[in-house]
Structure 1
Amino acid sequence: MDIDVLGPLGVRVNGVGVMPSAPKPRKVLALLALHVDRVVPVGLLVEELWGERPPRSARTTLQTYVLQLRELIGAALESDAGPHGVDGVVSAKDVLVTVPGGYVLRGGGGSSDVREFDRLAGMGYRAMDAEDFVGASRWLGEALALWSGSALADVRVGAQLEVEVCRLEEARLCALYQRIEADLRLGRHREVLGELTVLVSRYRTHEALHGQFMLALYRSGRRSEALSVYQRLRQALVRDLGLEPSAGLRRLQQMMLQASEPTPHTARSEAVDGGSRDRLVRVG
């Protein structure tokens, strides 16, 4: 089984999609796919489908959705040329398994874009710690390339899936910040300007990204624009959150006002300090 959630939901058995068209069975499949090879409790599925006030028929209806998913999986298994399906699996019940209190979707050793993202991003973070910025940029770039849009872009998420989507998007943003940081350490200031222009307009109060944008502009010979970025950030922070920029960002501004060159270590510490206050407001 191959599972994609970093964009539109995709679940395939034998290369055949097992995607239901109705919104609620799609939610069930999404939650099971996000927790592949782990038990998803019935209560969690019920809450995702109906919130805090499920109908009396909730569990029976959930069983109907599970049966619909098994029909799709069964059709995909029948497309296999061998007599024993995939990895010795002989029926859809062996793929979507009923266990006490819940259900398990068995991955059968197939691919998962989330697992691959975590693996590549982890390699990138370790490379950053080792100051291998070439490797960090490459591995984090490969991790980010697995995304084809917002997580579960074609699923109408409920409370449980919304938490999962937020978690994935935060992981994506963290990897993106670190990849840009690696590129800045490699002197690729002009190369990241376009990307950072889009990011700071989307994340209007994200201090770490603004710090990176300021540094990239400054090192590209555009000091006045870098200082303008700081002023726009300050206005957004005061207007939206009633807060002043962090001490780290203020120090970075002062270095630029004094026309002194931020060292790589200083510049990174300012940006990290600026982003550590968890001020993230997404717009657009």
Structure 2
Amino acid sequence: MGWLEKLQGGLKKTRDVLNTDVRDIFKSGRIVDEELLEEFESRLIRTDMGVIAADEIVEEVRDNHKGRTVDPDAISETIREKILSILVAGTDVTYDMERPLSPLNLTETGPTVILVSGVNGVGKTTSIAKLARLLRDNDKSVLLAAGDTFRAAAVEQLTMWAGRLGCEIITGDANVDPASVAHRGCEAALAKNVDVLIIDTAGRLQTQKNLMDELGKIRRVISKQIPDGPHESLLVIDATTGQNGISQAKNFSEAAGCTGIVLSKLDGSAKGGVVIPVTKEMSIPVKYIGTGEGVDDLSMFNPRDFVTALGL
């Protein structure tokens, strides 16, 4: 199965709701009036697009079609183009499908430092392994740093992946300050002249202020050793969380300075529509999506393919 087919599967829930609503509401022969538009907006919000994005989509339909007889194809086109404009607005990310590393801010000299964060259980460690595999497949040397020192299983899991992928890994003693592991990781990356250092962090709730402050400390430690580091701060969001993903993005963005999102678990009854409000409200681009459990199941996010997968 190709990645687009996997994406379509992951968006099935959102796609089914959206398509059913468009067909039910915008029937040929009806006049596009305020009652119809209000009904459409209430249903849009059910797809996890959020109120702000739903308002913009409905406003676009209103501007282009209000007072006219429904043309289902034309309305679908308006919705598609508006969603696409939301996904690409406010970001300077290049999605070049011929260059799968194009969304990443990779330095020309010295190690690129990628900090990875997220709440518990979002698939952070697996996403790191997938990203490391992608980098390795594109001839980049990769060093991992196991910054989740509070959970032995996390260190063991990342160490296992490092062995499978042929990457070196920096670990620390249990419960040691995660910033010290980041410090050692930066030292090793400089000494070994690796292309990319990926630093894992402990899973945390966005409401745990002390742990969120810890992310800020890790960033400061990195920047003292490697100027402009971290060059990427990726937030892993579970696609099944829906609207809670927006709250996560807001809080983590403040603490970790997020530059991009990895949307994981987009391979089941996911609420993939959350991509739209996160991009709209936070101006944080989705850079990669996880479409399966295999180490190769990480794909560069492409806004146009995402809209195509919605099936409108």
Which of the five TM-score ranges fits, normalised by the shorter chain? under 0.3
More helix per residue: 1 or 2? 1
More strand per residue: 1 or 2? 2
Tell me the TM-score normalized by structure 2: 0.26
Tell me the TM-score normalized by structure 1: 0.28
Larger RCO, structure (CA 8 Å, separation 6 or more): 2
Q: Which has the larger radius of gyration?
A: 1
